Amino acid sequence: MPTTDSDLPIIEMVRPMPGFPDRRRFALVRLDPAGDLCSMTSLDEPDLRFLVVPPARFFPDYAPEVEDDVLADLEIESEEDVLLLVVLRAGSSLASTTANLAAPVLVNTATRRGGQIVLDQPGLPIAAPLTA
């Protein structure tokens, strides 16, 4: 998804973030030149934002299993249309920052429909350290 200051990707959260059922429109803003670290900022409540990152760099074996109803809600027809993100809990350093692997954010890059999906997979941590 390309991002410029005048054309930020707007994500419609058809499956809202748990605890924020009325916050459905978020802008995805890149926070670093590589585009790894992003902020999902609520368009309705600008102080509400979530730090997110594609998990592959930190968790190369992470492959969540997503139910068919989720794919239908997000209108995902092809794996190429999926942007997978994990929500971070920022620590005082990279070593103390954790990622929620139990509830990733999926975005259909074609339709910009998204959602945070609480997975039914035992063993996935809600606070996985980014560094070992």
Choose the most confident range, by mean pLDDT, from 25-34, 88-97, 105-114.
Answer: 105-114
Give the pairing of strands 49-53 and 98-108. unpaired
By CB atoms closer than 10 A (0-12, 13-18, 19+), residue 23 is middle
5: CB partners within 8 A, 6+ apart: none
Local structure of residue 111 (DSSP, 8 states): T
* 128 three-state secondary structure: strand
Please report the pLDDT score of residue 106 as a whole number: 96
Any long-range contacts for 23-30 (C-beta under 8 Å, 24+ apart)?
Answer: 23/48, 26/50, 26/114, 28/1, 28/3, 28/52, 28/107, 29/3, 30/3
Output the six-digit token pair for 40: 């999902």
Chain segment 16-60, per-residue pLDDT in tens: 999 999 999 999 999 988 778 999 999 999 899 999 999 999 999
pTM of the model: 0.89
**CA-CA distance, 60 to 57, in Å (whole number)?**
6
**CA-CA distance, 39 to 116, in Å (whole number)?**
14
pLDDT class of 6 with cuts at 50, 70, 90: very low
